[in-house]
Amino acid sequence: MQDRRESDERSMPELPEVEITRRGIAPVLRRRTVTAVTVRNPRLRWRVPAGLAATLLGTRIRAVRRRAKYLLLDCGTGTLIVHLGMSGSLRLVGAGEPPGPYDHFDLGVGDLTLRLRDPRRFGAVLWHTGDPARHPLLAHLGVEPLSPAFTGQLLHAATRGRRVAIKQALMDHKVVVGVGNIYASES
């Protein structure tokens, strides 16, 4: 039987969906100040840190980046790391819009709210001070498939000496990040 984490990784939104989410929220959130934080259910894949609201209130979002399938909101003093899990999504809604039953986390920026909806609660909302690339979830990730570093030579070298099907190699986040079941099957 597969490790739960490994089987979950194969069902998550693919990298293009996460990148589209980043591109949609980045221009709206960039340079905005966090005015409200609501944690309705801290029991996601990893518990939402206690005191996150106090940490985030008043911080300014400098940038919204992506590393693999993680969204990174640079708040200057640290980084809010968001993962959509298997069924999560982020929505920008009006500040007064009532939450639904699967809306677990809100990040308010004035008249707008970034809302995490995650019916299966495999998503994550984490806080990290320092270089986000050193966070344990990000530190051992492979190359980004859309970066100049991802080459045929790199992929060839990464698959030498391995006794695994090419689909499994492509889905190994230590080789290349963000490739899920759909794109690996198509490849």
Residues involved in catalysis: 13-14
Cβ(140)–Cβ(71) below 8 Å: no
Cβ(182)–Cβ(148) below 8 Å: no
Q: How far apart are CA 41 and CA 159, in angstroms?
A: 41
Phi, psi of 79 (to 5 degrees): -125, 130
Coil, strand, or helix at residue 146?
Answer: coil
- Strands lying side by side in the sheet with 63-67: 63-67, 70-74, 79-83, 124-128
Cα radius of gyration (the chain): 17
